[in-house]
Amino acid sequence: MTGTVIDLGVPGETHTAPPRARVRWRGAAVPAVLAALLLGLAAPAPPAAAARVVQLTLPDDGWYEVGAGVIVTTAGGRLVGRSVADGAPRWTADRVSQEGLPWLTPDRAVLLDTSDDAAGAAVTVAHDVLTGARLWRHDGRPAAYGTGSVLLRHRLGGDRGDELTGVDARTGAIRLRVPAAPGDAATVADDGTLLAVVAAGGDVTLRSLADGTVTRRGRAEVQAAPGPVAGLRVEAVAGVLVVVDEAGDATTVTGYPVGTLRPAWRARFGAGDSAVRCADVVCVPGPGGLAVLDPRTGARLWHDRRWQWPYPTTTGPLVVEDADESSRQAGARTLVDPHTGRVLAELTPDTVLVRGHPDARVVRDPARPVRSAVRRSGAAAPFAVLDAAVLTDCHADGPHLVCPTVNGTLTVWRLPRAGLRA
């Protein structure tokens, strides 16, 4: 007889397990199963692979910009705009000059292309980033930016000095035009509505960028003498005009609140030091390291001899380079809190930034040179994986990430979900 054999057991015995044993088995197994399920739910999901959209070949100058869903590069003496979404050409435009490189306005909506004349004369042409259409052309080069406006500085030649022109960034309409001596310093107050001019003789004038109306006058104590090389600069930080006077055997930095134009504080540094705006503080790099001042009071927030070269920024953490030249040449950079000097991240050639997203990094995998990972500060797992080695800082544009990659290329990926905005 063949077929399925069913073991009925020995007559008089039972196959029912003792109740206590069955209870013990259930008591051990159920928690084990639940624990396995919970561990599975708690484990971080593997990073999603970012979808490669396109890879472009960069021109020899390596220049590119990203704004309004468009990648702008140069090619054959022309500007070329390509869609970030698919790399398709959108527009081309003639360059005003083969010297120098174009750049975008802070809102990344207007491209400014400026000739670079050795004699100091310059012409700036503005293009719409989205369409490439020429918006306007004016004499001068960009000196500062206001809310919806561009401040141009034009050297008139001879002994006629300079001219400051405020134009509407979109239409090119001239809002103000004022003379300036070659050694005068000018900027736009950080509210974006006022032109500040500090004359080499010490006179300070605030004008409305909308129509040139004088709103306030004052005096600055400066040593710089009038002339083409006056050693005078002005920075606008947190509602304060920070006047930097590099004349003589020291650098003097003085804060003048825009509301009063009266000196609120003064600090002196060595002749080799300077002062620049960094986020919403004042950075003073020099041979003795990097000092950071509160723009409202002049108080020293912190000082560190390890760092010397801050990248100019208007918001977010500071990116600083090591005071040691060999470390700088090796590509070492550090991300620090501007108010405390606390180290937020160490940046190496294998770790680069995503512009506009201070909490994001792109890290090259040393074990797999053709792979990089997008990480967020504090996250245990990568946000996304890129199928290429990223070389330098990237740009995010909506859900897309644009990065320089090997062999002179520029690669675009579409990040998972809503990109870095998520």
Half-sphere exposure (Cβ direction) of 294: Cα atoms closer than 13 Å:
10
pLDDT of residue 11: 35
* β-strand pairing of 307-310 with 318-322: antiparallel
Name residue 257's beta-bridge partners. Answer: 240
DSSP tag of 234 = E
**What is the strand order of the sheet 78-83 is part of?**
64-67, 70-75, 78-83, 89-94
Measured CA to CA, the distance from residue 246 to residue 155 in angstroms comes to 22
The radius of gyration of the chain's CA atoms, rounded to the nearest angstrom, is 30
User: How far apart are the C-alpha atoms of 180 and 225, rounded to whole Å?
Assistant: 14
Distance, in Å, from the CA atom of 211 to the CA atom of 167, rounded to the nearest integer, reads 10
Answer for the pair 49, 384: CB distance below 8 angstroms, yes or no. Answer: yes
- Per-residue pLDDT of the chain (422 residues), as tens digits, is 433 222 323 333 333 334 443 434 344 555 554 444 444 445 556 678 889 999 999 887 778 999 999 999 988 889 999 999 999 999 999 998 877 789 999 999 999 999 876 556 789 999 999 999 999 999 999 999 999 999 999 988 767 788 999 999 999 999 999 999 888 999 999 889 999 999 988 899 999 999 999 999 999 988 765 555 567 899 999 999 999 998 777 889 999 999 999 999 999 998 778 899 998 999 998 888 899 999 999 999 999 998 877 877 777 788 888 877 666 556 678 889 999 999 988 887 788 888 878 788 898 877 777 888 888 877 778 888 999 989 888 999 889 999 999 888 999 999 887 667 75
Sequence letter at residue 415:
L
Residue spans of the domains in the chain: they are 349-422
Written out in words, the top-level CATH class of the domain with range 349-422 is mainly beta
Rounded to two decimals, the pTM is: 0.81
Q: Which two tokens stand for residue 82?
A: 């390509």
Rounded CA separation 419/109 (Å): 21
3-state helix, strand, coil in the chain (%, to 5): 10, 45, 45
